[in-house]
């Protein structure tokens, strides 16, 4: 198992290298003269342009620029933002926990709703309940999550003022307010996750339930709860796990828009702010950080996959 | 068929039962994908005879057909917007701000008194344009790359796959946001950014099909002497790549539309005063306390259109009998 | 022949008495009957072979006994096991029978074990499900069973997953699991079909010796008359969902009553002289939706007369403990040329 994990981690090195080249290479997309554009375009003072040029090392060759950036990035040092005096890394660390709470809560919501629906649907395909689940999840998948967020605000914060429409409260300050503020973002993001998980589990469970070994379990005289709960779910969990891994990337992406709608200062809104201000170092740093995050999640998924499936471990 | 194992011949009294699979279960109980066992002699209700043409099969799927009709109408409306819609989408009428739907203004008027129906139709134009640009561009880039990766293999394939991995490690919306943000806000840039985001998926798909066909064909060719694998491959790849690619393109079109709406909602797409569905939503959201109902129409338009693309994808998948490998 | 295990007297009540068992599947439009009034019985310790081609209904009959058919199946008739009615038995009660009084092993050893749990876990689970007790006791019992079915190093193998076992070994594990609660009846549904020839005979020998040792009854579902000859006391031949002949094994092999039985025996490679061509029955079993009028076998029968096409024959007792479904059985003499 340990060698399995080590081998997986070793395989990530070239991937990280390519990701870093792509992320750093975003600079070639900057229109016009990079230092002028990044300094604010037409309104930029010559002094500011020089400062930007120097800070980003734009007077050097691309390779040496990349080398310098990557050398720092290895230590999770992404330099300083063009707009604040803080290091990008410290800004990311301030905001990351908030995003983690949003995305994590949405994932939890997705599992909480998606798993039971998937089970109901998967053990009796084509039943009335199954058809209802399929219909509901189809609708949920087509529903843009940001529109869902807006509709939720309209109904729960504007028409009925039950929940706040914006802002964030730390859990340590008030668990109740924390929950009230995060509930709508969780639902807005988590509905798609729930639908995706339900769909995947439905398919996987239906396949498993039709398999020979489930027939064996039934022939042993096991109760349905044990047949489905033990033998069915464990075998159906691997494909679901894959989806959960993919959902994490979606959830992190989704926080960009959800944080902006709910006025929450997390990692997603940090990326958005950086983009709207042409703050290239902040863009590169946060994107690199997010990529690293997804890579780690994928690794965790791989490892749990191996834990669930004894065959993978051997290979 | 005739490759019966010796072990069978020794004791098997039924040499006529040819197909080995029939020994599996008595009444040919087959487990279909839904997990229900049915005797295979019963025709399954969604089974379509293979000899029927594509169009006939597609038409059987009523839902996909409705979705297709909706999209055709939407595209026509977008193309002929000027002829269809008398109102100018950008003309303001500050006397009728946030007006509810009426006979003259079917979908009402927005915060500047502009006709929402006209803006939806003109907005469709922009949303569809950006999505089309994204999908078309992604296809143009990905098709040759996927073919090369699949045919050439080796390090070329390795490099292309690792680059695809790397792009897909960055969440799609984040990547699209960053690229279009750096390029500067415009519909074209949104299309470009989305093309980069979607291209790896297409590359993977094409590559997978090519490799699948290649392996199969070589096996067959080695059996029947004298077959020229390359010639067969070329013919087969075209067929095997086209079908899943069309399905994938339809579904991706829906994603593109969604992403375009998200980006223009965030202010990165088309710029004021021109409308896209995303910018209409962000304007409506700014008015959420005064005229929250304005959220329903552009949002509904996005949801329905995305759903239509997904349904068409499903319909195409069934009609083309697509089987996807390694995507 | 495993006649050694058969009890001497015929006075004892049968362990399993199946009468007019029918199984129908609800299709999308029509209802399809795949087993039609099948009847057979067996006494404790006895082995019954149910023989037939694909589509004869033999597997469905055996699955029906334990209620293992999909929900779309409708089972009617009677199957009394040890004084209890199995057909439409409430699910809870039926679960007490499954794996406890009646066990079943299947054709596909490669897929019949859960790939995600160790063999020991699956064996212990089967035991504790009916007998309760500690995990440790169940594991000890599991090891004992593995030893019984001839798996070396049982203690170590308990911790391994099914994919660590070969097909033959997996079938041994299945057998161990099915016997862990000492059932009175074991249904073996083509247990050797998916295995290599050498392994086939090993598994057959194992089942025979286990039966002698444990004294259980067996139903052997198979298409292979060679297997029937080596393990069974009685044989029921099924064709197109019906039992068409039931005979003690010796009578069956020397003097079959039904033309179909004769055809089966004739097509056994052992019954053909060197250099002679293998005789086979022309045609295939009709699917449930296209059952011919009259005798179901008539289109393939070389002895068919006009009456066979018109009247469906009943299963008749011939008086000497045999039953046959053929109107011409009395006039035909179907000696097997050996």
| pLDDT at residue C271, as a whole number | 57
Q: Which carries the bigger pLDDT value, residue A68 or residue C237?
A: C237
* Cα B322 from Cα B325, distance rounded (Å): 10
What is the C-alpha radius of gyration for chain C, rounded to an integer number of angstroms? Answer: 21
Interval B212-223 mean pLDDT:
70
Q: What is the pTM of this model?
A: 0.82
For the segment C158-215, what is each residue's pLDDT rounded down to a tens digit?
Answer: 999 999 999 899 999 999 999 999 999 999 998 888 888 888 888 999 999 999 899 8
In the CATH hierarchy, which fold is given to the domain comprising B54-320? MetI-like fold (1.10.3720)
Model confidence at C320, pLDDT cuts 50, 70, 90, reads: confident
Q: What is the mean pLDDT of chain A?
A: 89
Range of lowest pLDDT (A143-147, B43-47, C297-301): B43-47
Instruction: Calculate how close chain C gets to A114, using CA atoms only, in Å.
Output: 23
- The secondary structure of residue C3, as a DSSP letter, is G
Q: Which carries the bigger pLDDT value, residue B117 or residue B301?
A: B301
Q: Which carries the bigger pLDDT value, residue B160 or residue C53?
A: B160
Interval B308-316 mean pLDDT:
88
Q: Which of A265-269, B119-123, B183-187, C27-31 has the highest average model confidence (pLDDT)?
A: A265-269
Q: What is the mean pLDDT of chain B?
A: 76
CATH 3.30.565.10 describes domain A92-314: no
Model confidence at A100, pLDDT cuts 50, 70, 90, reads: very high
* Confidence check: pLDDT of B160 > 90: yes
Range of lowest pLDDT (A57-61, A273-277, A311-315, B150-154): A311-315
* Confidence check: pLDDT of B235 > 80: no
- Strand C217-222 relative to strand C316-317, pairing: unpaired
| pLDDT at residue A230, as a whole number | 92
Q: Which residues contact B192 (CB under 8 A, 6 or more apart)?
A: B133, B134, B137, B179, B180, B183
| pLDDT at residue C272, as a whole number | 54
| pLDDT at residue B37, as a whole number | 36
| pLDDT at residue B20, as a whole number | 29
DSSP string, C49-116: EEE--TTSSHHHHHHHHTT-S-TTEEEEEEEEETTEE-TT--HHHHHHHBTTTEEEE-S-TTTSS-TT
Interval A181-206 mean pLDDT:
94
Interval C243-267 mean pLDDT:
89
Model confidence at B204, pLDDT cuts 50, 70, 90, reads: very high
* Cα C70 from Cα A210, distance rounded (Å): 9
Q: Which carries the bigger pLDDT value, residue C38 or residue B217?
A: C38
| pLDDT at residue C8, as a whole number | 43
Q: Which residues contact A160 (CB under 8 A, 6 or more apart)?
A: none
For the segment B32-53, what is each residue's pLDDT rounded down to a tens digit?
Answer: 333 333 333 333 334 444 445 6
Enumerate the domain spans of chain C.
Answer: 115-179
Helix (H, G, I), strand (E, B) or coil at C237: strand
Enumerate the domain spans of chain B.
Answer: 1-46, 54-320
Q: Which of C96, C106, C113 sits opposite A221 (nearest CB)?
A: C96
Residues from B contacting C (CB-CB < 8 Å) are 6-7, 9-17, 22-29, 36-39, 41-45
Interval A131-137 mean pLDDT:
91
CA distances to A147, A157, A184, A188 from A160, in Å: 18, 6, 13, 17
* Confidence check: pLDDT of B56 > 80: no
Q: Which residues of C touch A212 (CB under 8 A)?
A: 106, 108, 111-112
| pLDDT at residue B253, as a whole number | 94
Range of lowest pLDDT (A194-208, B85-99, C232-246, C250-264): B85-99
For the segment C154-171, what is each residue's pLDDT rounded down to a tens digit?
Answer: 999 999 999 999 989 999
| pLDDT at residue B197, as a whole number | 94
Instruction: Calculate how close chain A gets to B190, using CA atoms only, in Å.
Output: 13
- Residue A38 token pair: 């990044």
Specify whether the CB–CB gap between B134 and B198 falls below 8 A. yes
Instruction: Calculate how close chain A gets to B39, using CA atoms only, in Å.
Output: 14
Instruction: Calculate how close chain A gets to B221, using CA atoms only, in Å.
Output: 31
Q: Which residues of B touch A298 (CB under 8 A)?
A: 169
Q: How many CB pairs under 8 A join A and B?
A: 143
Of all residues in chain A, the percent with pLDDT exceeding 90 is 55
Enumerate the domain spans of chain A.
Answer: 12-73, 92-314
Neighbours of B, requiring at least 3 CB pairs below 8 Å, are A, C
Interval A111-124 mean pLDDT:
93
Q: What is the mean pLDDT of chain C?
A: 87
B residues 155-174 closer than 8 Å to A (CB) = 162-163, 165-167, 169-174
**How many other CB atoms are there within 10 angstroms of residue B53's CB atom?**
9
Q: Which residues of B touch A254 (CB under 8 A)?
A: 173
Model confidence at C303, pLDDT cuts 50, 70, 90, reads: confident
Contact C115 A310 (CB under 8 A): yes
Q: Which of C60, C226, C227 sits opposite B26 (nearest CB)?
A: C60
């Amino acid at each position: 198992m340990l060698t399995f994990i080590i081998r997986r981690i070793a395989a990530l090195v070239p991937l990280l290298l390519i990701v870093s080249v792509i992320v750093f290479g975003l600079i070639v997309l900057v229109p016009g003269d990079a230092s002028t554009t990044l300094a604010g375009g037409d309104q930029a003072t010559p002094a500011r342009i020089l400062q930007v040029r120097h800070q980003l090392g734009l007077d050097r060759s691309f390779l040496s620029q990349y080398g310098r950036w990557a050398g720092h990035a290895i230590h999770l040092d992404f330099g300083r933002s063009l707009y604040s005096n803080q290091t990008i890394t410290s800004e990311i660390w301030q905001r990351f926990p908030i995003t983690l709470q949003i995305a994590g809560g949405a994932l939890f919501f997705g599992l909480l709703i998606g798993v039971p629906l998937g089970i109901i649907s998967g053990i009796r395909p084509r039943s009335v309940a199954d058809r209802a689940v399929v219909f509901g999840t189809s609708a949920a998948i087509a529903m843009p999550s940001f529109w869902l967020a807006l509709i939720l605000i309209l109904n729960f914060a504007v028409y009925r003022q039950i929940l706040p429409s914006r802002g964030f409260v730390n859990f340590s300050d008030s668990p109740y307010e924390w929950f009230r503020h995060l509930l709508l973002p969780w639902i807005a993001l988590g509905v798609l996750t729930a639908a995706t998980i339900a769909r995947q589990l439905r398919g996987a469970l239906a396949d498993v339930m039709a398999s020979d070994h489930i027939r064996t379990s039934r022939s042993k005289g096991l109760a349905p709860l044990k047949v489905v709960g033990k033998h069915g779910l464990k075998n159906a969990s691997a494909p679901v796990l894959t989806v959960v891994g993919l959902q994490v990337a979606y959830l992190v992406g989704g926080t960009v828009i959800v944080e902006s709608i709910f006025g929450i200062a997390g990692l997603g809104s940090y990326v958005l702010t950086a983009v709207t201000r042409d703050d290239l170092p902040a863009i590169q740093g946060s994107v690199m950080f997010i990529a690293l995050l997804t890579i780690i999640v994928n690794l965790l998924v791989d490892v749990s996959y191996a834990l669930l499936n004894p065959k993978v471990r051997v290979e | 068929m005739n490759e019966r194992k010796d072990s069978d011949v020794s004791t098997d009294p039924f040499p006529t039962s040819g197909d080995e699979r029939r020994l599996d279960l008595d009444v040919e109980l087959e487990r279909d994908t839904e997990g229900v066992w049915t005797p295979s002699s019963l025709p399954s209700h969604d089974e379509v005879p293979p000899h029927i043409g594509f169009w006939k099969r597609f038409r059987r799927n009523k839902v996909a057909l409705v979705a297709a009709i909706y999209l055709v109408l939407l595209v026509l409306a977008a193309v002929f917007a000027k002829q269809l819609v008398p109102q100018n989408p950008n003309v303001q009428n500050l006397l009728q701000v946030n007006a509810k739907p009426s006979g003259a203004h079917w979908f009402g008027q927005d915060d500047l008194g502009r006709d929402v129906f006209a803006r939806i139709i003109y907005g469709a134009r922009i949303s569809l344009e950006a999505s089309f640009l994204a999908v078309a561009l992604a296809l143009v880039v990905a098709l040759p790359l996927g073919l090369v990766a699949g045919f050439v293999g080796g390090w070329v394939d390795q490099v292309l796959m690792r680059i695809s991995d790397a792009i897909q490690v960055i969440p799609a919306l984040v990547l699209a946001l960053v690229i279009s943000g750096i390029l500067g806000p415009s519909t074209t840039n949104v299309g470009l950014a989305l093309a980069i985001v979607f291209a790896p998926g297409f590359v993977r798909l094409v590559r997978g099909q090519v490799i699948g066909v290649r392996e199969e064909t070589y096996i067959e060719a080695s059996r029947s002497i004298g077959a020229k694998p390359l010639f067969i491959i070329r013919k087969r790849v075209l067929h095997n790549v086209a079908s899943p690619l069309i399905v994938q393109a339809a579904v991706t079109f829906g994603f593109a539309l969604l992403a375009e709406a998200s980006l223009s909602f965030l202010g990165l797409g088309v710029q004021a005063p021109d409308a896209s569905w995303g910018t209409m939503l962000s304007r409506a959201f700014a008015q959420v306390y005064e005229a929250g109902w304005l959220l329903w129409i552009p949002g509904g338009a996005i949801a329905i259109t995305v759903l239509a693309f997904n349904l068409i994808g499903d319909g195409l998948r069934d009609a083309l009998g697509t089987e996807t490998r390694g995507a | 022949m495993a006649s050694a295990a058969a009890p001497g007297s015929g006075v004892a009540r049968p362990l399993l008495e199946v009468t007019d068992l029918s199984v129908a599947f609800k299709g999308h439009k029509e209802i399809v009957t795949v087993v039609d009034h099948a009847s057979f019985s067996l006494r404790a310790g006895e082995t019954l072979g149910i023989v037939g081609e694909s589509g004869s209904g033999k597997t469905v009959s055996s699955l029906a006994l334990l209620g293992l058919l999909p929900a779309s199946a409708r089972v009617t008739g009677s199957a009394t096991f040890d004084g209890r009615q199995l057909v439409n038995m409430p699910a809870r009660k039926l679960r007490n029978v499954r794996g406890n009084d009646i066990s079943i092993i299947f054709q596909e050893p490669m897929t019949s074990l859960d790939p995600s749990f160790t063999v020991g876990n699956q064996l212990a689970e089967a035991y504790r499900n009916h007998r309760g007790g500690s995990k440790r006791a169940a594991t000890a019992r599991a090891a004992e069973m593995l030893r019984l079915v001839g798996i070396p190093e049982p203690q170590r193998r308990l911790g391994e997953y099914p994919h660590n076992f070969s097909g033959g070994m997996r079938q041994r594990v299945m057998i161990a699991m099915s016997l862990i609660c000492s059932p009175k009846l074991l249904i073996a549904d083509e247990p050797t079909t998916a295995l290599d020839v050498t392994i086939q005979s090993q598994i057959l020998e194992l089942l025979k010796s286990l039966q002698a040792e444990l004294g259980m009854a067996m139903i052997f579902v198979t298409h292979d008359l060679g297997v029937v000859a080596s393990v069974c006391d009685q044989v029921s031949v099924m064709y197109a969902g019906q039992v068409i002949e039931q005979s003690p094994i010796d009578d069956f092999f020397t003097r079959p009553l039904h033309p179909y039985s004769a055809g089966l025996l004739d097509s056994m490679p052992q019954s053909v002289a060197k250099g002679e061509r293998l005789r086979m029955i022309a045609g295939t079993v009709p699917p449930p939706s296209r059952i011919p009028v009259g005798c179901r076998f008539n289109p393939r029968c070389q002895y068919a007369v006009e009456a066979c096409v018109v009247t469906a024959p009943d299963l008749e007792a011939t008086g000497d403990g045999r039953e046959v479904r053929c109107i011409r059985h009395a006039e035909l003499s179907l000696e097997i040329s050996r």
